[in-house]
């Protein structure tokens, strides 16, 4: 069934009618039917909320979110939308099992809301193309070792430079690519018993080893900026791991040390460099991380932090 043919209904909650109109438009664009309710839930009967998907836009104060979470059914999905980027708020809200998607209530967040709704409706989670204008040329590089990682970085940064991105933005892209590729090559792989293949291997020794399964990185330049995605073939990453590392780095009282935080620091650095950070996981099969970057290089913070878990077949 195409997204536009879906009869999936999604509950939209906000304070202002104008905000509800924006949410409704994005939900329609994603292929679902919105049911709009003013905050306070006057349009719903008491008790659990009988909707699988809910979009909530509010002022980021803790009480309204807590009230809503207390009424959502286990297994439901909440998209929470706030006025401005706030990584600490994201980690607190995402700690709720039903909340896996945080976005800013602006043009970027609303565009991502439409994509998120389409992923809910279709179950098709993987693919950087969802976050790009139609027809955008996407480059693909496959690699299995550190040398391939360096060639990939060179190719991607060359493309970013030719696309006219500033040096600061190219630096952010390079940092994120480096972190995600190292995680995919050396932190994701496990053996048949679930043991980390490189867990006891010194970092320097890892650089001479081949990852047992290929890693792929896709990249694209757009009028708005740049996008990359990195995919491994293990599907080990989960929301709890992401939140644990982010929270640990956010609340560290000391200068963050890579030796102590390891791959967790990489996730934190990605969250501070990218504009959008989307994780798609087919457990045991594949993890894909999609990141976007603003062409202007303005640091407005992370506008989207979103985690999708899919137990179905591995992506092509």
For 128-309, CATH gives 3.30.565.10
pLDDT at 260: 43
pLDDT at residue 196, as a whole number: 87
Q: How far apart are CA 161 and CA 40, in angstroms?
A: 49
Measured CA to CA, the distance from residue 160 to residue 30 in angstroms comes to: 30
Q: What CATH topology corresponds to 3-122?
A: Rossmann fold (3.40.50)
The vertex-85 CA angle with 80 and 86, nearest 5°, equals 90
C-alpha pair distances (Å), 197 with each of 201, 226, 232: 8, 32, 14
Sign of CA dihedral 157, 162, 163, 169: positive
CA distance 144 to 155: 16
Map residue 220 onto helix, strand or coil.
Answer: strand
For residue 307, the model assigns a pLDDT of 97
How far apart CA 6 and CA 276 sit, in angstroms, is 27
The predicted structure's pLDDT at residue 258? 47
Interatomic CA distance for residues 132 and 128, integer angstroms = 7
pLDDT above 90: percentage of residues in the chain:
70
Q: Is the pTM of this model over 0.85?
A: yes
Q: Check residue 240 and give its pLDDT.
A: 93
pLDDT in tens, 115-153: 999 999 999 999 999 999 999 999 999 999 999 999 999
For residues 153 and 129, the answer to whether their CB atoms sit within 8 Å is no
Q: pLDDT tens across 216-235, in order?
A: 999 999 999 999 999 999 99
Which residues are CB-neighbours of 236 under 8 A, at least 6 positions away? Answer: 188, 190, 283, 284, 287
Please tell me the distance from the alpha carbon of residue 102 to that of residue 246, in angstroms, as a whole number.
14
239, 307 contact by CB (below 8 A): yes
For residue range 4-45, what is the model confidence (pLDDT) as tens digits? 445 799 999 999 999 999 999 999 999 999 999 988 666 666
pLDDT interval class at 53 (50, 70, 90)? very high
67-77: pLDDT as tens digits: 999 999 988 99
CA gap 224, 111 in Å, rounded: 13
Provide the residue ranges of all domains of the chain, joining segments of one domain with +: 3-122, 128-309
- Give the Cα separation of 190 and 184 in Å (integer): 11
Q: Which of 49-53, 104-108, 109-113 has the lowest mean pLDDT?
A: 49-53
- Could you read off the pLDDT of 80-89 as tens digits, one per residue? 999 999 999 9
Residue 53 CA to residue 34 CA, distance in Å, equals: 10
192, 194, 195, 196 alpha-carbon torsion, rounded to 10°: 100
Q: Torsion-angle region of residue 119: left (phi > 0), alpha (psi -120 to 50) or beta?
A: alpha
Is the model's pLDDT at 297 over the cut of 90?
A: no
- What Rg value do the Cα atoms of the chain yield, rounded? 20
């Amino acid at each position: 069934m195409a997204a536009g043919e879906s009869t999936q209904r999604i509950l939209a909650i906000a304070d202002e009618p104008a905000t509800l109109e924006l949410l409704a438009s994005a939900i329609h664009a994603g292929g679902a039917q919105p049911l709009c309710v003013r905050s306070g839930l006057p349009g719903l009967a008491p008790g659990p909320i009988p909707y699988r998907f809910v979009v909530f836009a509010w002022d980021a104060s803790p009480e309204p979110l807590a009230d809503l979470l207390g009424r959502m059914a286990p297994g439901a999905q909440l998209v929470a939308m706030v006025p401005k980027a706030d990584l600490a708020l994201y980690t607190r809200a995402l700690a709720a099992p039903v909340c896996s998607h945080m976005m800013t209530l602006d043009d970027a967040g609303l565009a991502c809301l439409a994509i998120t709704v389409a992923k809910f409706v279709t179950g098709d989670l993987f693919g950087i193309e969802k976050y790009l204008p139609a027809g955008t040329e996407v480059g693909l590089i496959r690699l299995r070792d550190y040398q391939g990682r360096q060639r990939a970085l060179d190719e991607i940064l060359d493309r970013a430079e030719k696309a006219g991105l500033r040096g600061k933005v190219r630096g952010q892209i390079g940092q994120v690519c480096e972190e995600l590729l190292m995680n995919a090559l050396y932190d994701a792989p496990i053996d048949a018993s679930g043991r980390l293949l490189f867990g006891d291997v010194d970092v320097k020794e890892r650089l001479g080893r081949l990852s047992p399964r290929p890693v792929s990185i896709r990249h694209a330049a757009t009028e708005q900026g740049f996008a990359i995605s990195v995919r491994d073939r293990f599907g080990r990453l989960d929301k709890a791991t992401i939140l644990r590392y982010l929270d640990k780095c956010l609340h560290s009282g000391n200068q963050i040390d890579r030796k102590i935080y390891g791959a967790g620091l990489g996730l934190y650095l990605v969250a501070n460099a990218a504009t959008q950070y989307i994780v798609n996981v087919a457990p045991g099969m594949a993890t894909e991380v999609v990141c976007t970057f603003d062409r202007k290089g303005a640091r407005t913070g992370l506008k989207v932090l979103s985690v999708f878990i899919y137990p179905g077949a591995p992506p092509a």
